Amino acid sequence: MQQCIASSRPGSGDVGEKGPLPSFPFKGFPFRHGISRLPPSRRAHLFSRDSRERHRVRGFPPDSPSPRGDQGMGIVPRSALSHGHRSGSEMKGWDFRGGFPIVRAGTPPGTHPADLALPRMWTKALATHTKFSQGPLVVVGGSIKCSEVRRPGAANRGGADARKRKNEELRNLSLSGHVGFDSLPDQLVNKSTSQGFCFNILCVGETGIGKSTLMDTLFNTKFESDPATHNEPGVRLKARSYELQESNVRLKLTIVDTVGFGDQINKDDSYKPIVEYIDAQFEAYLQEELKIKRSLFNYHDTRIHACLYFIAPTGHSLKSLDLVTMKKLDSKVNIIPIIAKADTIAKNELHKFKSKIMSELVSNGVQIYQFPTDEETVAEINATMSVHLPFAVVGSTEEVKIGNKMAKARQYPWGVVQVENENHCDFVKLREMLIRVNMEDLREQTHTRHYELYRRCKLEEMGFKDTDPDSKPFSLQETYEAKRNEFLGELQKKEEEMRQMFVMRVKEKEAELKEAEKELHEKFDLLKRTHQEEKKKVEDKKKELEEEVNNFQKKKAAAQLLQSQAQQSGAQQTKKDKDKKNASFT
């Protein structure tokens, strides 16, 4: 309960402290406490400005017992490496970064293993890089997974010195009471429960091989789905999501089916839609991750966590379509091969079939999903179950009365195949492995291996690099900037083009309009002229007419005058006549 573990002291946040040394690209200068105790001869190079000088492993004379040999210590990642000497000891993937002995009084430097100090940095490196391997992080003489070096006979010496060193170098932190952070896993689990889980299964197999039935059986429910026909022109993927709840765990399950797989005459391209689908899900996640404003914890993860590959129960070997498809998928998804409709194979045939399949997979280099065996709690069960790969399963949703209870089974005239009977088929094993034991691991593998691989490839393809050709680390920002500028430049060019086009068009239109205007003007002038001419004509005619009228009037007046004169004279005549008559009468 109360254990003491190593502690270390990174100087990571030392703002304002100006030491004599430039800052290391590493958390904390490791020799903060040890330096003063080094003999001056060994100290000098530490203060040099040249980083290579500083990093170089200062020597132990080649004939002295190698410090690493005695202690078998684990160490520092290769990236922070020096070209230090190995002195015959072979490090697998780890390397030393300078062993600076701390001189104890009375012993000449470099000879006594106790001098070979364990700088704090190393324990810190251990702490981060060995992921809290079991036991106290006392390194010396203990069993460390990361280093392979151990000199025979040195163990005991290492042990005693270890304790001494432990007391002096490592900070024993003993908890004197119950602090309470053992509730941390529970807190974490509560959080995850409230968020819910996502699990996506891809079922790859021919039409009619029993994919939907198996899913129904696995999750003990009826997912509505109508069986597909054999007439599909190509392979397409159908994804459906369901929400399942068991006690307080909510699972968002997505089942992706390959419809039409294996039905075509030419199956060359059968695998392509599957690979594209998987890539599309990765792509969607990558897009979300690379956004500036993103919401990853809210994100409905659709990446495929497990791929169940249904192998047809021919009894002989894998089909070439199977091999090709699995080879294409193995680097993208966790493949779990299963033998479908296993009730058609006899037991002895099954055994041969399984071994044939596994050997074919191995010889073709197909990486199927390995059940994790590094965690003690599940290692055993995973190891025993992996022997039975590929699982021979039978799916059924119908219940048959067996004995005195109902069980899922398939009823044949010659017998009943029980789904959950381990002697009949491996369904129970599949369910154990897929759901009850390794679901979390499947998800983790998808995220940390397959997705990371995809991401790396995709980003590299787009031209992003971590390091320059000069092996100086490249900032992703710089590449973004470069690309962005490029893109902006392109956009500007396009904009210019469009603007030019626009201007041209405007000019054309303007010219056209001007022409039209000119025409109009001309027409107008013409019209005006004609109009004026007409007007003149009309006026001329009017004048004529007026003249005529005048003439006529004159004539009329004259005529009237004449007439009146005539009348007057006539009247006078008659009057005269009358007068004459009257006169005659009188």
By CB under 8 A, what part of segment 191-230 binds another protein?
A: 191-194, 197, 218-223
Least separation, in Å, of the C-beta of 299 and another protein?
A: 11
> Is 321 among the residues that bind another protein (CB under 8 A)?
no
Which residues make Cβ contacts (< 8 Å) with residue 269, sequence separation at least 6?
Answer: 234, 235
Positions in 257-296 near another protein (CB under 8 A): 272-273, 276-277, 279-281, 283-284, 286-287, 290-296
> Is 325 among the residues that bind another protein (CB under 8 A)?
no
Please measure the distance between the N-terminal and C-terminal CA atoms of the chain and give it in whole angstroms: 184
What is the CB neighbour count within 10 angstroms for residue 202? 26
Q: Among residues 437, 450, 451, 454, which is the contact residue for another protein, using CB under 8 A?
A: 437
Least separation, in Å, of the C-beta of 171 and another protein?
A: 7
Least separation, in Å, of the C-beta of 387 and another protein?
A: 21
> Is 407 among the residues that bind another protein (CB under 8 A)?
no
Positions in 116-155 near another protein (CB under 8 A): 124, 127-128, 131-132, 137
Report phi then psi at 366, rounded to 5: -90, 125
What length does the chain have? Answer: 586
Core vs surface per residue 44-59: b (16+ CB within 10 A) or e: eebeeeeeeebbbbbe
Least separation, in Å, of the C-beta of 81 and another protein?
A: 15
Positions in 37-96 near another protein (CB under 8 A): none
Core vs surface per residue 404-423: b (16+ CB within 10 A) or e: eeeebbbeeeeeebbbebee
Q: Judge whether 338 and 429 are in contact, CB under 8 Å.
A: no
Write out the two tokens for 314: 């021919």
Least separation, in Å, of the C-beta of 34 and another protein?
A: 17
Positions in 343-402 near another protein (CB under 8 A): 375, 377-378
Residue closer to another protein (CB basis): 253 or 361? 253
Q: Can you tell me whether residue 400 is helix, strand or coil?
A: strand
Residue closer to another protein (CB basis): 273 or 315? 273
Angle 26-28-29 from CA coordinates, rounded to 5°: 95
> Is 249 among the residues that bind another protein (CB under 8 A)?
yes
Closest residue by Cα to residue 188 from 440, 4, 372, 6: 440
> Is 495 among the residues that bind another protein (CB under 8 A)?
yes
- The contact pattern for another protein, residues 149-188, with x = CB under 8 A and - = no contact, is ----------------------x-xxxxxxxxxxxxxxxx
Least separation, in Å, of the C-beta of 474 and another protein?
A: 8
Angle 472-476-478 from CA coordinates, rounded to 5°: 80
Stretch that binds another protein, among 159-167, 206-214, 360-368, 453-461 (CB under 8 A): 453-461
Residue closer to another protein (CB basis): 47 or 487? 487
Q: Among residues 364, 475, 565, 574, which is the contact residue for another protein, using CB under 8 A?
A: 475
Stretch that binds another protein, among 143-151, 315-323, 465-473, 509-517 (CB under 8 A): 465-473
Which residues, in sequence order, are bridge partners of residue 202? Answer: 256, 307
Q: Can you tell me whether residue 338 is helix, strand or coil?
A: strand
